[in-house]
Amino acid sequence: MSLKSIFAYSFQSFYLAGSFLLLFIFLPSFYNLSLGFALSTIGLIILVSRFFDVFSDMYIGFQTEKRFINGKSKKNQIQFGVLIFILSLVGLYVVQPSNIYLFIFYYNLALISYSIAIIPYDSIVIDQKKISTRRFQLATIKEIFTILGVICALIFPTIVSKILSVDLLSPQVIKLTGFFMIAVSVIGIVIFHFFYEYESQNQSKSVSIKQIKSFISENKKVMPFAKITFFNLLANNFTANLFIIFVSVHLGLPDQAGLLLILYFLVTLISTPLWYRIGKSYSNMFLLQVGTLVTMIGFSPVLFIQSQNWELYLVVIFITGIGIGIDLIIPQIELADILDENKDNRLSQIFTAFFSIIKKAAIGIAGGISLSGYGYLEKIEFSLHPSIPNIMIFYFFIPLIIKLIVLFLVMSYRSKFNVSIKS
């Protein structure tokens, strides 16, 4: 893949990641705090929508696999999905529907169109030649653009809120952020259309359900890796969904929420190349084990953070940001290595869809439980302990327990994943 093509491909992560992050971190808080939607209702919508999204992803994966005669069809599907995704952004950010049913429509349109684009998009990493270093390099560049997109998506509303002297989650800020993300998306898809050079992928026949079942039963890595991926994403998204509420309500720092998010992803961005260098000498699972431990250690001080104590929270952000950096790279690399054990590369679309389902199920469950659970406990004025705010249940205790499960799974299955990145 040429340098021009790598840039055109990776730049898609810039706006897709930024838009998607705002979709599940910013928008729930905006529709709750600014438009008055009940937090428990938003959480329920996210949970149900993600449930149907799981089934739609598998359908999209199979339909995508059937259509992929060559790389051009994959490119066309990505472009189509992005265009529909842009329309959903118009609805959510610009229109800002006060009607709950319109919100459900635009939110689900965003989920489906994102899947249409991201399933063939992510599979391009897997389609690379069976050289782990090449995949790791492409995945690293892709994730650097991902983090840059996230940082840019966070910086823009933060700057706008300061200029307009309004809250970060005000309707004006959200609308202007929407226009910004739409403009970047249009530029990105134009760059992709003219500069991405698709590679020929001649394939003779479709993959059957029987082949997929056979591959899963014969490959002892698939289900263990699926479990690790699910629980890891579940833990990460519990904290992600409640980040703004935690900073705004518990810490009492609503004006600093955007800045703290920017710092978090900036640390993650810096750590990604460092993980790349370390990864040349160690196995994927060893890196994931180290990253999980770093995240858990760095997150532990959250329990002791009091209102206005942003200094200690900066330490948490710095350490956890380093740990999360590895979570962005390893899943793609390990999935590609697993699929290398099957000669039919048509499985790439199916298993990209499969792991997309796992990702979205984790996001949906975490979003639904964290937002609905916290909203419900606050509504009935339930308290676990006078010294422990309700948000700590969902922001601290549950994610930490899930991370322990991840660590246990990684340590249990490490012997199955003994191939290093450079091998």
* Cα end-to-end span (Å), the chain: 21
Q: For residue 1, with 0-12 CB atoms within 10 Å meaning exposed, 13-18 middle and 19 or more buried, which class applies?
A: middle
Confidence at 423, pLDDT banded by 50, 70, 90: very low
If you average pLDDT over each of 22-31, 130-139, 400-409, which comes out highest?
400-409
pLDDT of residue 241: 81
> Where are the chain's structural domains?
3-199+209-416
Arithmetic mean of pLDDT over the chain: 80
pLDDT of residue 418: 56
The architecture in CATH of the region 3-199+209-416 reads Up-down Bundle (1.20)
| pLDDT tens by residue, 95-106 | 888 888 999 999
Contacts of residue 365, Cβ cutoff 8 Å, sequence gap at least 6: 47, 50, 234
pTM of the predicted model as reported, rounded to 2 decimal places: 0.70
pLDDT surpassing 80 at residue 139: no
Helix ranges restricted to H, 196-309: 209-218, 222-245, 257-279, 284-299
Confidence at 315, pLDDT banded by 50, 70, 90: very high
| Separation CA 49–CA 27 (nearest Å) | 15
Contacts of residue 311, Cβ cutoff 8 Å, sequence gap at least 6: none
| Mean local confidence (pLDDT), 15-35 | 81
181-185, 248-252, 396-400: least confident range: 248-252
pLDDT surpassing 80 at residue 224: yes
pLDDT of residue 390: 81
| Mean local confidence (pLDDT), 139-163 | 85
| Mean local confidence (pLDDT), 119-124 | 82
pLDDT surpassing 50 at residue 422: no
Confidence at 211, pLDDT banded by 50, 70, 90: low
Task: Find, among 410, 168, 133, the residue nearest to 293 by Cα.
Answer: 410
pLDDT surpassing 80 at residue 81: yes
| Mean local confidence (pLDDT), 76-85 | 93
| Separation CA 414–CA 334 (nearest Å) | 12
